[in-house]
A = this chain, B = another copy of it.
Amino acid sequence: MISDKMKELTKNGSAIRAMFEDGKKMIAKLGKENVFDFSLGNPSIVPPESVKQAIIDILNEEEPMLVHGYMNNSGYEDVRKATADYINSQHGTAFTEENIVMTVGAASALNIALKATINPGDEVLLIAPYFGEYNNYINNYDGVPVVVSPDYERFSINFDEFEAKVSPKTKMVIINTPNNPTGAVYSESDLTRLADILNKKQAEYGTEIYLISDEPYREICFGGKKVPYLTKFYKNTFVAYSYSKSLSLPGERIGYLVINNEMSDFEEMAGALNVANRILGYVNAPSLMQRVAGRCVGQTADLSVYEENKDILYKALTEYGYEIVEPQGTFYMFPKCFTPDDKEFCTRAKEYGLVIVPGSNFACPGYFRIAFCVKKETLLNSLPAFKKLADSYR
């Protein structure tokens, strides 16, 4: 007898398995070369050669008891210091190792921040469209997700509704920039407006409202732009970071959480996060990969392919009549369906060999997500199918 909470969640697991089965049927029907899977946000590029070299150097140069051993639950101090130094060099912040907790990817960074702050019944604001997994993370701590409906113009934040939904029970706001599934990057003026609302509401209610920025796509930002650093806009800010996309190491589960030092209860919070990392069963971020992150901080895989893919896809799809807010980053695009029923649209897409995800999965019906982290050739081959899908609605 599995737990009640898990019964519902395991059903979704079955839906994913059903999708895999569907994929097999599509291949049997259309041929492997005519099936294009854009459903998963799985990096399509190799890690930089420097990662392999770093691993070998670490094994040859450092003591095995250090490389594979226990350390402070928040991570190796030298790795946390190297991380802080790099962020400071990029964003003019003034962090030390005390501001960094090395984590089992961004997923665990989000979980320890929620564990450290959320009491059962506390509200967590989510900006639609958003990564559905946030609901599960909030549910782990009996928090209550409160969804702000989409700003369809720019996929920024629907600020009026956002302000109206900040309540005395609001304990956290999760944002994700660059955004999955839209590719939107919040501008400085967006973030200033967000911070103003939160500061006003904190004063009004006498509460602390934490902002956490989930940033696994920080380095995948197009046109040479930079993603503004959140701690500079709002004091009660956490940043959750992962090397999954920047170094193309998604399986290694290595990332970190930044705790802004202007947070009013900084020391207590740092202590709570250290304990949360331990008692949630992470214990610490994987040790060898921490040391790799320390040596490779600031490096990236060759991310240029994602911008090339975005350009190809955006140009072609707008030509075919798709309505799209042009992504400014990530490897996702979030066009409008040609029908309000996004599930029907994605089912019809399968007839043309396209595996895409309904916007409903991101709390934004009527849209669909394309994860274009695929080979350029695959993308080019898929374009006629997108055209046929569009034409089928004329």
Residues from chain B with a CB closer than 8 A to the CB of A117 are 1-3
A6 to B171, alpha carbons, bound, how many Å?
Answer: 15
Query: Which A residues are closer than 8 A to B by beta carbons?
Result: 1-6, 9-10, 12-14, 40, 42-43, 46-47, 51-52, 55-56, 59, 64-65, 67-71, 104-105, 107-108, 110-111, 115-119, 133, 136-137, 139-141, 207-208, 248-254, 265, 268-269, 271-272, 274-276, 278-290
Minimum C-beta distance from A119 to chain B (A):
5
Residues from chain B with a CB closer than 8 A to the CB of A133 are 278-279
Residues from chain B with a CB closer than 8 A to the CB of A279 are 9, 133, 136-137, 139-140
A6 to B115, alpha carbons, bound, how many Å?
Answer: 8
- A248's nearest neighbour on chain B, judged by CB, is B68
Query: Cβ of A281 and Cβ of B55 under 8 Å apart?
Result: no
A67 to B251, alpha carbons, bound, how many Å?
Answer: 8
- A12's nearest neighbour on chain B, judged by CB, is B275
Residues from chain B with a CB closer than 8 A to the CB of A2 are 116-117, 265, 268-269, 272
Query: Cβ of A3 and Cβ of B115 under 8 Å apart?
Result: yes
Interface centre among A9, A69, A115, A278 (most CB of B within 10 A): A69
- A210's nearest neighbour on chain B, judged by CB, is B1
Minimum C-beta distance from A23 to chain B (A):
15
Minimum C-beta distance from A239 to chain B (A):
16
Residues from chain B with a CB closer than 8 A to the CB of A118 are 3
Contacts A140-B279, A286-B289 supplied; 18 other A-B pairs, CB < 8 Å: A6-B276, A12-B275, A14-B271, A40-B70, A47-B64, A56-B56, A56-B59, A69-B251, A104-B281, A104-B283, A104-B286, A105-B283, A107-B281, A108-B281, A140-B281, A252-B286, A252-B288, A282-B282
Query: Cβ of B59 and Cβ of A46 under 8 Å apart?
Result: no
